[in-house]
């Protein structure tokens, strides 16, 4: 049970069913599944995020400009992106989004093939194209998970405030 303030007159107890109705989440089949699709991540989490703070388009500028961003993720370095005139940033942003979707799409598909299809084509393990490939994949997945975790931590706190949860409840929930 969550205790959230519905009005200034006192606390109301919010049941798990009410939280499910507010958030749209349930503990049904697939709830604990791994999410290996950027569009699924958007579908699951964007409902909790404020306008202008949604995955992934709204965050691209900040993510590209991070000191630890990688050209292989966005197709552009932070330095090159930073010096672009505003008129050119829209095109660069669209290209960066495509590059990010392609990169993670390849990673997620390869993982699926390794687990479910014995790595394809015609059910045989495939060679890695370049040395260091596995390390770069791990780095890229860790990078995405860390950025998403950081963002969700900030935004979910705001979501809880928005549905009327008290500071004590938010702290108890770990946000």
Q: Where are the domains of the chain?
A: 2-172
Contact 113, 94 (CB under 8 A): no
Mean predicted confidence (pLDDT) in 56-72: 91
Sign of the Cα pseudo-torsion (150, 98, 48, 51, in order): positive
Q: Which residue has the higher pLDDT, 24 or 175?
A: 175
pLDDT of residue 122: 63
Angle 82-41-160 from CA coordinates, rounded to 5° = 95
pLDDT computed for residue 126 by the predictor: 64
pLDDT per residue as tens digits for the range 99-158? 999 999 888 887 777 777 665 556 666 666 665 678 888 899 999 999 988 998 888 888
- Look at residue 46 in the predicted model and tell me its pLDDT: 86
Give pTM, 2 decimals: 0.71
Taken as a whole, the chain contains a residue count of 175
Q: How far apart are CA 47 and CA 53, in angstroms?
A: 11
Under the banding of pLDDT at 50, 70 and 90, the label for residue 88 is very high
DSSP at 46: G
* pLDDT digit string, tens, across residues 51-63: 889 888 888 999 9
Q: Are 119 and 125 in contact (CB under 8 A)?
A: yes
**Range list of H helices, the chain:** 16-23, 38-45, 60-64, 71-74, 78-82, 86-116, 133-162, 167-172
């Amino acid at each position: 049970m969550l205790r959230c303030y519905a009005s200034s007159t006192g606390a109301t107890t919010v049941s798990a069913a009410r939280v499910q109705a507010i958030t749209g989440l349930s503990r049904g089949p697939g709830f604990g599944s791994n999410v290996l699709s950027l569009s699924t991540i958007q579908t699951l989490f964007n409902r909790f995020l404020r306008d202008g703070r949604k995955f992934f388009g709204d965050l691209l500028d900040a993510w590209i400009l991070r000191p630890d961003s990688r050209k292989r993720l966005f197709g552009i370095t932070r330095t090159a992106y930073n010096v672009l005139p505003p008129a050119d940033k829209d095109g660069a942003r669209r290209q960066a989004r495509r590059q990010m979707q392609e990169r993670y799409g390849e990673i997620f598909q390869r993982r699926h093939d390794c687990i479910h299809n014995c790595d394809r084509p015609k059910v045989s393990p495939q060679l890695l194209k370049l040395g260091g490939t596995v390390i770069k994949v791990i780095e890229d997945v860790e990078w995405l998970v860390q950025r998403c975790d950081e963002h969700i931590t900030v935004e979910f706190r705001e979501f809880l405030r928005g549905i009327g949860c008290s500071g004590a409840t938010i702290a108890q929930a770990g946000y």
